[in-house]
Structure 1
Amino acid sequence: MSRDLLLISTSTTHGTGYLEHAQEEIQHLLKGKRSLLFIPYARPGGISHTDYTAKVQEAFAPWEITVTGVHTYDDPVKAVNEAEAVFIGGGNTFVLLRQLYANKLVQPLQQRAGKGMPYMGTSAGTNVAGKTIGTTNDMPVVHVKTFDALQLVPFNINPHYLDPEPDSTHMGETRETRIAEFHQHNRQPVVGLREGSMLRIKGDKIALLGPLPARIFLQGQKPLEFMPGDDIGFLLDAV
């Protein structure tokens, strides 16, 4: 598969503007591109597709990249098939996946990204790049007919991965506990992406980028920590 993906944990980190922390990698991904198709279906906070797209347009304007929202097209499938590159933003993963299926965009996105079209996701947009959305942190505010996602990679991702606070008195489940529960019923690896981290996937190579290590969970094994620059290409061989 000719993957060309940038999967980012979050669109905004503390003290930075929208996408600012990932600017260099975004520019590398979109080098030579002049247009970007934005899919605003996740609607963070329930904002309109138009307002969400305007926010993305503002972020990409200094890079002279024209951003168009897929919701403005009469034929969204044609829009995906003709796109130079696609960006799916964050919000609610269940809302996003339902709309991708409703608009018949799952297969076109799989086909285009599988042939090398640059694909960028943040948060929910990163969730749907994985095998399923079964490790999202979002509430299931809408019903989806399946958890099967775009499957651009054969593993799941948990964006916004949080480690337990050492001095916390909270007795509820940790992210690690929740992922262990997932692995009671599912085989695929799960990548816990901490804030500011991202996966750059080119062909059969994966680069972990950002300031923090990633926590990788394999069924029946203790969690593993991988530092930026470590070889984690084995994840692309997951079944």
Structure 2
Amino acid sequence: MQNLEIGKDAPPLLPKVERQRLHDTVVDHLRRFIVEGVLEPGKKLNERELCETLDISRTPLREALKVLASEGLVEISPNRGASVSKMSEAELRETFELMSGLEAFSGELACERITAAEIAEIKALHYAMLACRAQNDLAGYYSRNQAIHDKINEAARNSALRQTYVSVNRRLQALRFRSNFQTPKWDRAIHDHEEMLEALDARDGKRLSAILRHHLLEKRDAVLSISASPESTS
């Protein structure tokens, strides 16, 4: 993966932060930097460079970093500053296993409770995802891919499940994004999503549950494969 540097000589990576809703906007921008690999796992965060990039002062930046630390995306040390969190192999395996169960349960409940309008919305996201795939737009593809999973979880209509799902998924988003760097992985994910739509249309909870569980465990294996490759450690 190509390293992207953040600094005053680099082109803007995202639009400048608007003053309105500053806190939420800074958190969203930094989260996106982490998910899309602009800020890679283990990278020490340079406050001055981030402030210049986002056109903000250190106070809102530090507040945003505290939020990301509470989500497990950033580690803050009193003596070393902040850095992007990096999961161990054991943490990665266990968290993906947990996520596969959460996704599977979401799918089972969603088939009982989803509305026709919600299925139509998910289908629209699927077709938008296909358009991004055709344009080789990984960021656009990933955002729609994740929106589909999110809509299925919302359709489960279980607030306790929702809270856990969001918390765990935040820790995995960057890894799930990376798992699509290889073209065959994109195409396999699209095939899985087509099967998900068929199961939703049929309100087949057991089938959708199995598809989602398998889908997440394949993501786990893809991430482990990337992590074990020589390029990932170079």
Of Structure 1 and Structure 2, which has the larger fraction of its residues in strand? 1
TM-score, normalised relative to structure 1? 0.26
